[in-house]
Each structure stands twice: as structure tokens, then as C-alpha cells.
Structure 1
């Protein structure tokens, strides 16, 4: 019997199983190339910054500069999307990050490096907001977490290869990873321009599937406890996952565990494998059991794990902890983003921008505070603050209303 659905709907079925729209898979491919390059830079950047004879605070400032410019640029991304469409904003943003990253490799001084990372943050904001707005606008609530899982899966697959490649490239030159990053970003931008469909076509096709009748006013979104909980969770993620973890773990491995830079890449790659394996079950759990229990459980577990990281006696124990953290991150990265789509609807550029800004604020303050704590007190104090923020996010999520599940069919 032929299934009944609105004409042009983006949710297609094979038998009784819903299929995600094509744009979701294209965004997954783009995220893979972005993350391969970013993963190459992860094990190198703190050590590269250290080569300019600066301390932990200055290393944290480089991470914060990228996040600061993301924060400044994010409020304008919604207007740019309205004028240019998600596809073009995404491609231009990736191009900006590509050029600035290549120039980082030839920076002649610390101030130049700091400035170039800041410029890259502008492009990153454009890419992030455009991609997530397109993703949420292309899927129904019943498949939202799984769509986000595909997108994040691209990042994670790139995260498996990227850090390992970065560790190998670092053995050749500390600047080579930045040129490699620029190349992978160029590929991602070209894919976006060629394969992603224009907004007018995609919006018309997906309107029925995404249950869109009218944009939800942002002032109403702000009053939604679900959205506020998602923003608190993203702030904690920005502080600890995007800030403290990226800024201090590479230095911890080199200076405390006395390991080579390549160890960082390998440890992060193994953790990315663990997170990738957990991603599909996590997305299904979030779509069927609910967003609220996923946020509470994963953030509470991550708090315990991240507090233990600076006390790891060797690289093996540290890698195990990072793998456990990766499993929790599979839930932490998917559930809050799905909540944003639930609260704001599919036409959610402004809500996505503010949600992204919460992570950026955390990523600005987190590395600076963690660097000062590490220099003044200990690495334990630096990671301990991140653990407290994760616990706060879990506690705040208790205020979320009970999940109203959409009854999505198992696939």
C-alpha cells in the first residue's frame, strides 16, 4: 500500500522506516572534512603556541580568541542567513577559517598568531550557525537526534583520523598541520557549494516534514525551560570540552606525563572511536527515551570523569578516562542540540546562534581561568571547576518538563 505523505516531504520511507533527508548526509560529509583538519591541529596548537615562549595563560588566550570572535560574530549570522541562505554562509565561513589557518602556520609572532585565530573564529561562527540551522530545518522532531548524530558522526570520524595524522605531522614540523587544515577546509567548502540545495528548494520541500507553520518568536523560546537548560549545558560544554580539555590535556601529557606530542593525537583518536561507537545508541536513546534523562545522566557522569583526568598516573589510564568521557560526550553533544530544535522549531537561526554563543562564552572564559588555576594552583583545580559546571548543568536539567516523545518508529 502506498504511504500517504505531503507532497515534497523530506521524510521518505522504505517500508516502515523513515529516512533522513539528503542534506543531513551532505552536512555529515562536510563535518568530516572540517574535523579531520581541526583534529590535526588539536595536538599541535598548544605546543606550537608554547614555542613562542609563552605560558599557560597565553595558550589559553589563543583558544579564547577563537571563541571570542565566534561570540562576537554569532549574533550577525542569523541576519546573514536571511540575506544569503545557509549554503552560502556555510561555504564563506569555511573559506575564512581555511585562509586564516594556513596563515597561522607562517605567523611570525605571538600577536600575529592570536589575531589570525580570532579571524578564524568569525568564519567558524558562520559555518556552525548555518550548518545547525540547516540541519534542524531539514528534519522532523522524531528524527532530530539521529540527524544530529549523523552530523556529529562526521566530526567524530574525522576526529579519529585527524589527531593521529596531526601527531605524525607534528614530528615533521609544528606548522605542517595548519596547512593540512586549510586544505581539508577548502574541500569541505566546495562540497557545500556543490551538493547542498538552495534554501528556497529545501525549505519548500521540508516544511511539512518539519511541522513548520510559523517561526516561534525568540522571546517565547527564551521562556522555555528546555531551551534554557540546553544553553546552560552548552556553556558547560564550551568551558570544559572545547576549552579546558583542548587547552590543557596536550600540555598535561607533555609536561606531567613526560610523553611526546604524538601521544596526545593517539589518545584523542582512541577517545573519538569510543564516542563514535556510542553515538548511534545515544541518538536513538535521546529520540525514544528522552532528552531530559540523557542530559542529566551524561553531564553527571562527565563531571566525575573530567575531575579524575589530571590524576591519571600514565597515558593508558588517561586514554581510558578520555574514552569514558567520549561515551558521555555522545549524549552531551546531541541531546542539548535536539532540545533547541524542539523548543525553537525548524526556523531557528537566532536560537541556534544564542545556543552557540553560550558554548563560546564558556570557551572564552574556561581556558583563561583554567590556565590561571593550573599556573597558580594545580591541574586538579583547573579540571575541578569544569566538573562543577557539568554537575550544575545536570542539576539545572532537572527543571526541564517531562519529555513528550514523538513516537518515532524504530529503525
Structure 2
């Protein structure tokens, strides 16, 4: 084994410095947030239907959360400048907690719709504040690992949530919403108690200067990250999550339960890949990670509509899950490289691109399936993911390039 390959092996699998305390705390916070969110998601459509409304109204409640996140994202960056990440994170979690508890007490469809919209605003505050703090707390050479650890908290919580939600829904359709509020209270308390108070004028951890947003917007690393997040939101939420359940039942003639099984196996594969993905992003670079991951993801999306057996679908989703570990880690790290310390507004816009893909993707994919079939719908994701891979070739080479 050559000296270079041995060094790469140690960087990918061990010997790297420990993550900062704030990164670990944010990972724990992410777990509790996603645990509660995962509890509510399977129950929400049934709960909304209990008010005697149609499926259009159910879709509106689901969309209200994402739409309000998208609308609120650009304003959160300004709030961070005023109050700081720690406060905005706690306030955002508090808003979601209160709105979720009130959803469990709602006695009309309109109340549920409005409260879910309010929850979306709180979610935007938490997400942008947490990611901004995460990027500022981690050194550029460990930023990929930090993002991977944070996303691992989301994934593990998301895997555990639906199982808990199924048990709670057997007790009452209201119980999951109170449980969600409880997990959010825990998350907010952990954040307030354990996150460090940062000096926004002289951060002791981040070594990158604050850049004007106009400069960041012109940085090829940031542009690549925006396109990558749009493509990932479109592919993961718009195509994969919306169409795989239909593909399983109507094309592969499988039981609906197979959708959950396939997604759970793929989530495990993604979780296991997060650690090596984060190390790869730090050791080898953001550019090769984005190019390779989105190229692999686009190939998977091309293949999925042509599968003939369930095991083939599960295998492809696992490959996509491994690629998604890199897709989620590298673009976020690139935002931190481009924005420098305390990049609240760049992070807010970055998150908004992902939300836009998640909102528009299901609508466009549905229209394409009706008009042209599954191949065209999955093809829309292929186009965006291939574009993200090609555009990332414009990024500077090297492991970590400074924001200067």
C-alpha cells in the first residue's frame, strides 16, 4: 500500500479529529426533531380525513408546511443577524411544538391547515439556524463529517418515528401530535442548555471571514450547491417519495407495505454511508463527491422505471441511498466553504432551493406520469441530477478551498 493510499484510508475510516461539541449537540437535536416528525407523518393524512374532507384538502395540509418553509426561509437569515442562531433555533422549535400540540386539539380542518402552515415557519427557523451554526462550528477540514453526523441524527430519528407513530395511532389519532410536541420540547431544551453562546463578531471556531451575499452568489461552489440541493429535493421528495409507492402497487403488483420496507432498507444503507461520505468529502473534496454522487443518482433514476422485480427496486434504492449520503453532505459543506463564517442568508437560500424542489417535484412528476408515463417523470429527476453533476465540474479542485 502506497503512502498516499494509506493516508486516504486513515482519513476516510479513522484518525480524524473529534467533532466539536456543538456539532454533537445539533445531531442529538436533529434526532429528537425527526423522531417526532416521523411519528406524525404517517398519521397526518388519516387525521385530516377524519374532518370529513377530500384528498385535495389532505394534500393542501401536507403542502402548507413545505410552502411556508419556502416562504419563510429568506427572512430567517435576517433574523439570525438580529438574535443569533441559538435563540432562533430554540424559538423555531418552540413554534413547531406549540403548533403541533394545537393540531392535536383542533376541531376543524381550517385550524389544522393554518397551524401546519405556522409550523412550517418554525421549521424554517430551526433548519436554517441549525445548519448555519453547524457550518460555523466546524472547521473546514471536518465540515463534511459534521454535516454527515447531523444528517445521521435526522435519518435515525426518521426511521424510528413511523414505528412509534403506528403504536400511538392505535391509542388515538391525537396522541402522535402531542408526542411530537414533547420531542420538540426535549430538542429545544437540549439546544438551549448545551449549545455554546457564540460571539458573532469573532467566532473562535470558524476560520473563514464573513462574505457579502453578492460575492457568495457569484461563487461557483455556492452555485453548484444550490443546483445540487434543488435536484436532490426534486428527486428525493418529488419523484422517489411520490412515485415509488405507486410503482410498487400498480406496476410491480406488490403490497403497499413493501414501499415502507424498501425505504427503510435504503435509509439504513444511507445512514451507514454517512460516515465514509463525510470523511470522503473532507479528505478528497466537495467537487468529486458531488460529481460522482449525482451521476450515480441519475443512473439509478433512469433504471427504476424499468425494474420488473421488487428485489431489483430495493437494490436500486439502496444504491441511491448511498449516493444520497454524498448528495446531502458535499453541497452543504460547499456552502460553508463559499459563505465563510455566519453565512445565515446563504444557508437560508440554500435551504429554499431544496424546499422548492420538494414542492414542485411532486406536482411536475404527477403531471408527467399522467401525460407520458413513469419514464418521463423519473427522467425529470435525471435531467436535474445530471445537470448538477456537470455544473459541479466548474468548482475549484482540491479538498478545501478558502472563501477568499
Q: How many residues align?
A: 387
1:190-205 equivalence runs, <5 A: 190-200=189-199, 204=202
Matches of 1:255 and 1:106 in 2, distance apart? 37
Structure 2 residue aligned with 1:302:
297
Matches of 2:37 and 2:195 in 1, distance apart? 22
> CA 1:169–1:243 in structure 2 vs 1: closer, same or farther (change >3 Å)?
farther
Structure 2 residue aligned with 1:4:
none
Matches of 1:318 and 1:112 in 2, distance apart? 39
Structure 2 residue aligned with 1:228:
223
1:176-325 equivalence runs, <5 A: 176-200=175-199, 204=202, 206-207=203-204, 209-212=205-208, 214-250=209-245, 252-253=247-248, 262-313=257-308, 315-325=310-320
The Cα of 1:101 is off from its aligned counterpart by 3.1
Matches of 1:117 and 1:255 in 2, distance apart? 31
SS in 1 for 2:17: strand
The Cα of 1:74 is off from its aligned counterpart by 1.2
Structure 2 residue aligned with 1:117:
116
Matches of 2:350 and 2:152 in 1, distance apart? 20
The Cα of 1:40 is off from its aligned counterpart by 2.9
1:3-402 equivalence runs, <5 A: 18-45=17-44, 54-55=54-55, 61-105=60-104, 111-169=110-168, 176-200=175-199, 204=202, 206-207=203-204, 209-212=205-208, 214-250=209-245, 252-253=247-248, 262-313=257-308, 315-402=310-397
- Which stretch of structure 1 is more off in the superposition, 324-333 or 174-183? 174-183
> CA 1:203–1:315 in structure 2 vs 1: closer, same or farther (change >3 Å)?
farther
**Contact 1:310/1:380 (8 A) holds in 2:** yes
**Contact 1:87/1:196 (8 A) holds in 2:** yes
**Contact 1:170/1:261 (8 A) holds in 2:** no
> CA 1:361–1:32 in structure 2 vs 1: closer, same or farther (change >3 Å)?
same
> CA 1:352–1:362 in structure 2 vs 1: closer, same or farther (change >3 Å)?
same
How does the TM-score come out when normalised to structure 1? 0.84
SS in 2 for 1:215: coil
RMSD: 2.9
Could you report, residue by residue, the CA deviation over 1:109-155 in whole angstroms, capped at 9, with x for unpaired residues? Answer: 65544433322211111001100111111111111111111111111
- Unpaired runs of 5+ residues, structure 1, are 1-15
Matches of 1:235 and 1:291 in 2, distance apart? 17
Structure 2 residue aligned with 1:7:
none
SS in 2 for 1:19: coil
**Contact 1:33/1:185 (8 A) holds in 2:** yes
- Unpaired runs of 5+ residues, structure 2, are 1-14
Could you report, residue by residue, the CA deviation over 1:303-332 in whole angstroms, capped at 9, with x for unpaired residues? Answer: 222344455445544333322211011000
Could you report, residue by residue, the CA deviation over 1:50-107 in whole angstroms, capped at 9, with x for unpaired residues? Answer: 776645x766544432222112111221221122221121111112222333444565
